[in-house]
Structure 1
Amino acid sequence: MTDTPRSAHLRALEAELLAMPPVAAMQLRVGDADGETLRLHAPLAPNVNDKACAFGGSLTSLMTLAGWGLIALRLVEAGLDANVYVADTKVQYRTPVYTDLTAVAVADKGESWAGFLETLRNVGRAQMTVAASVPLAEGGVAADSRSRYVAIRKG
């Protein structure tokens, strides 16, 4: 199998995320990315609550990390070196999750990657809102979020 730049970036992203002890405890794994979306996975067992379903904090963390990771990947692919911070998040929990977890992140409606990257290049600081969800195998979503991230160019 030929290694692609994106697969190398995904491995690097996973290593960066797993270097954080709370993320390592979640046993997070980076799934796939296509430039527009990023999928993260985590097993249920280390993320379970007292009701034998996924802990809400794990759902929120996974969605937040998926958004952060999506932006981090886009920055690497654009050749930009910046710190990315989550500024605020709105989360809705819709139904319990009794299976392994997946979070999917995409740029929120109305957001522009080109505008985000241009602003970061020109101003040194830019913000982007990312929509993330935890889809259910049977359809629908268990939770969704909208998070605003701020990127600050290094140097």
Structure 2
Amino acid sequence: MNPDSDPALQSLLAHYLSMPPVAAMRLQIAGADASGLRLRAPLSAHVNDKGCAFGGSLVSLMTLAGWGVATLALERAGLHADVFVASSEVRYRAPLFADLEATANADAAELAAFVATLRANGRASLNLDARVPLPGGGSACDMRSRYVAIARG
């Protein structure tokens, strides 16, 4: 799916960029489909004292990708909710000396249950996996997170 031609993705990007810490990350939506989202950010905005990507930036990008997957699923279902990250487990695997790219994905059946549960109960949770790949293969970092949605009045 082309981010430039999807109104839901453009709305999501505008929401991201309205948050000052996220705007400073210089992120871009690199791609999306029904159950996943890919975000990019330049290494130059996230470099640490060793010349590689700052660990906090890796986690932030993965967290935002997961939040985006949950938010897009609800928006596409016509639901309005506040989405929060509730918990996450992160594994740092290798330093990244290239631009950051985070991908978050949810199982299609879990996404459907997330939407149905929010519609029925006004609250729902969703588990997502995210990762930042290395240019030559493997992962710089991966994360398992739980997001919670609470319907807006």
TM over 0.5: yes
Query: After the TM superposition, which residues 4-153 of structure 1 pair with which residues of structure 2 at under 5 Å, given as runs?
Result: 7-107=6-106, 112-153=110-151
CA-CA distance at 1:37 after TM superposition: 1.0
Unaligned runs of 5+ residues in structure 1 are none
TM-score, normalised to structure 1's length?
Answer: 0.93
CA-CA distance at 1:5 after TM superposition: 9.7
C-alpha distance after superposition, 1:90-120 (max 9, x if no partner):
1000000000000000116x96112111110
Distance in structure 2 (CA, Å) of the matches to 1:78 and 1:5: 20
Contact 1:111 1:129 in 2 (8 A): no
Contact 2:114 2:125 in 1 (8 A): yes
CA-CA distance at 1:6 after TM superposition: 6.5
Give the CA RMSD over aligned residues: 1.8
Quick one: which amino acid aligns to residue 130 of structure 1?
L
TM-score, normalised to structure 2's length?
Answer: 0.94
Distance in structure 2 (CA, Å) of the matches to 1:66 and 1:4: 14
Contact 1:111 1:128 in 2 (8 A): no
3-state SS of the aligned residue for 2:40? Answer: strand
Distance in structure 1 (CA, Å) of the matches to 2:60 and 2:149: 19
Contact 1:59 1:143 in 2 (8 A): yes
3-state SS of the aligned residue for 1:60? Answer: helix
3-state SS of the aligned residue for 1:145? Answer: strand
Deviating beyond 4 angstroms after TM superposition, the runs of 4 or more aligned structure 1 residues are 3-6
Quick one: which amino acid aligns to residue 15 of structure 1?
A
Unaligned runs of 5+ residues in structure 2 are none
Distance in structure 2 (CA, Å) of the matches to 1:92 and 1:84: 23
Quick one: which amino acid aligns to residue 107 of structure 1?
A
CA-CA distance at 1:9 after TM superposition: 1.2
